Amino acid sequence: MTILALDPVSNQTPAALQNFLHQCQQAAKKAHRSQLVSISLEVDSLDPLAVLASIFEPTERHFYVERPSANLAIAGAETVLEFSASGPERFDECQTFIDDVLANAIVVGDQGIPFAGPHFFTAFSFYDDVSTEEPFPSASVFVPRWQVATRLDRTVAVANLIIREETDIKAAADKVWRAHSKFSGFPCVDRVFSQAETNPRISLQEHGTEETYCNIVQRAVDRIVAGEFEKIVLARAKDLVADTAMNPMQALHGLRQRFSECFSFSLANGHGQSFIGASPERLVRGYGGMLTTEALAGSTGRGKEEDEDAQLGLALLDSEKDRHEHQLVLDSILRRLKPLGLQLEYAPTPSLRRLANVQHLHTPIKTALPVGVRLLDVIARLHPTPAVGGVPRESALAGIRSLETFPRGLYAGAIGWIDSRGNGEFFVGLRSALIDGPRARMYAGAGIVAASKPAQELAETELKFQAMKAALFSK
């Protein structure tokens, strides 16, 4: 990878940009292969979601994630490079693709700006393999044509393009210049997400029945007691159908407003389907040689009053069933990361993680990331964690396949990004829905252990459905 500190756009001319891209083309001809050219430029403050919504096209891929409490938002759309894989080696194959692209990349601009340079937006399904009928492959990576991100009150715009020996340099330069010129003209968020005049007619149907889910939970408890596994996570699905096509950007706006502590996200496949959600769970974050992850398991609701909320939290901390479920998750994370030689640091007892409508038992984990161990190496060992799969992993995953009656796809998958320096962040695809025109399939799950009661697990999943239902119904 070649890094250049020059600025070929700001305070320059279209001719200067064209001359720069011509030099990149000469490098492509010399190497006898295409070059990824990534141009970063700090711009005036923008709302990345407003930018994405302004140019949203169902036939274009996009990636979006926002965590308002961390002052973080990033959007990328359209595709200049993409890759997909399946099977147990999918993480290694995606890493090889990333390495190959970066080996032939020219990165331009101040790389000290947060989110400068090319980013690889990545999604891994819950299982290693998915059917060919699923809207997303089991592993996908793409580099967007453009990217806008905000972090710590700074905004950066990134243009990515592929320069080949036969590329029309003038046309490429004109396209980058026109895109740069647009960044002062995007509307504010209130204009993009104006209130609709009418509410659509919507029907909601359980995939199966509530009684079916309770029966499945009881069957899982019986298998736990028989020693087949210690914990299993079982999900429900609800299908929502409206009389008009749903706008995933509108739903995403509702999610980020309601759940500032969560990762509000949208991932579109370019064929009309979008996977959106508001996930409370970080899988991993790697930055500057440090790695953070977490155990998040054991749930209860929020109280209407402060005293009630505190009592619910204390009851969760004292719950033998929830503490056992949480400990299974923590022990599995520690066990799976041990072969990587990581010195993991964590508190001896869990704390409470309070969200808008639910609170969880939470144990943050941090460690230095040794040279040679990369983010996808860690994810390959962790995913899926017991918080969304079970313990032991292999028997729990087999149990999920035998008990659930719908494909998970990206539900409970690993979604995130990796930058050109190997930094990145991944979260778990929870509290989510797959949107396809007027239809949306919503997902919610609960961890089942020997002490689980079917009615209580049903109530927990219903609580988790509320976030997505509210976002999809809001206009």
Residue-level pLDDT at 43? 86
Question: In this structure, are 357 and 271 located in the same domain?
Answer: yes
Q: How confident is the model at residue 302 (pLDDT cuts 50, 70, 90)?
A: very high
Q: Which of 230, 281, 425, 460 is catalytic?
A: 281
Looking at the domain assignment, is residue 195 inside a domain? no
Point out the domain boundary residue: 187, 211, 242.
187
* Short-list 475, 78, 90, CA closest to 253: 475
405 and 376 co-located in one domain:
yes
Confidence bin at 18 (pLDDT 50/70/90): confident
The reply to whether 75 and 146 lie within a common domain is yes
CA–CA distance, 219 with 443 (Å, rounded to integer):
20
Q: What is the DSSP string of 296-319?
A: EEEEEE--SSHHHHHHHHHHHHH-
- Considering the domain boundaries, does residue 194 fall inside one? no
Q: Report the percent of the chain where pLDDT is more than 90.
A: 70
403: number of Cβ within 10 Å: 18
pLDDT at 127: 97
Q: Which one is catalytic: 134, 230, 231, 325?
A: 231
* pLDDT score, position 174: 87
Could you tell me which of 273, 282, 278 has the C-alpha nearest to residue 252?
278
Q: What are 424-445's pLDDT values in tens digits? A: 999 999 999 999 999 999 999 9
Residue 76 exposed, middle or buried by CB count within 10 Å (0-12, 13-18, 19+): buried
Residue where a domain stops, chosen among 187, 210, 229: 187
Q: Domain span at residue 64?
A: 2-187
Q: Is 206 a catalytic residue?
A: no
The answer to whether residues 157 and 232 belong to one domain is: no
For 18, the enclosing helix (H) or strand (E) is helix 14-31
User: Which pair of tokens denotes residue 408?
Assistant: 């998970």
Question: Is the pLDDT assigned to residue 179 strictly greater than 70?
Answer: yes
Instruction: Answer yes or no: do 147 and 237 share one domain.
Output: no
Cis bond before residue 280 (omega within 30° of 0): no
DSSP 80: S
Mean pLDDT of the chain: 91
CA angle 53–65–117, rounded 5-degree value? 95
Task: Cite the beta strand spans of 337-430 per DSSP E.
Answer: 345-346, 351-354, 358-368, 390-391, 414-419, 424-428
Same domain? 465 vs 413:
yes
If asked whether residues 245 and 154 sit together in one domain, one would say no
Give the total number of structural domains in the chain: 2
Pairing relation of β-strands 105-108 and 154-163?
unpaired
pTM of the full predicted structure? 0.93
> 168 and 239 share a domain?
no
Instruction: Say whether 469 is catalytic.
Output: no
Flag whether 63 is in a domain. yes
State how far the Cα of 149 lies from the Cα of 47, in Å rounded to an integer: 8
Would the pLDDT of 299 be above 80?
Answer: yes
Cα torsion through 372, 375, 380, 383, rounded to 10: 150
Say if 197 falls within a structural domain: no
393 and 360 share one domain = yes
Buried b (16+ CB within 10 A) or exposed e, 193-205: beeeeeeeebeee
* CA dist., res. 354 & res. 166, Å (int): 55
**436 within some domain:** yes
Model confidence over 321-340: pLDDT tens digits? Answer: 999 999 999 999 999 999 99
pLDDT at residue 116 tops 90: yes
CATH code of the domain in which 219 resides: 3.60.120.10
Asked if the structure places residue 459 within a domain, the reply is yes
Confidence category of residue 203, pLDDT binned at 50, 70, 90: confident
Tokens 């243009």 appear where? 159
Token pair of 218 as six digits: 């009881």
Average pLDDT over residues 199-212: 87
Asked which of 17-21, 206-210, 398-402 is least confident by mean pLDDT, the reply is: 17-21
Is residue 332 in a domain? Answer: yes
* 359 and 395 assigned to the same domain: yes
Closest CA relative to residue 179, chosen from 17, 24, 61: 17
Q: Are residues 400 and 292 in the same domain?
A: yes
Q: Is the pLDDT of residue 240 over 80?
A: yes
457 assigned to some structural domain: yes
Confidence of residue 303 (pLDDT cuts 50, 70, 90): very high
On whether both 246 and 148 belong to a single domain, the answer is no
Q: Which of 187, 211, 245 is the last residue of a domain?
A: 187
Rounded-to-integer distance, Cα 77 and Cα 75, Å:
7
Does residue 363 register a pLDDT over 60? yes
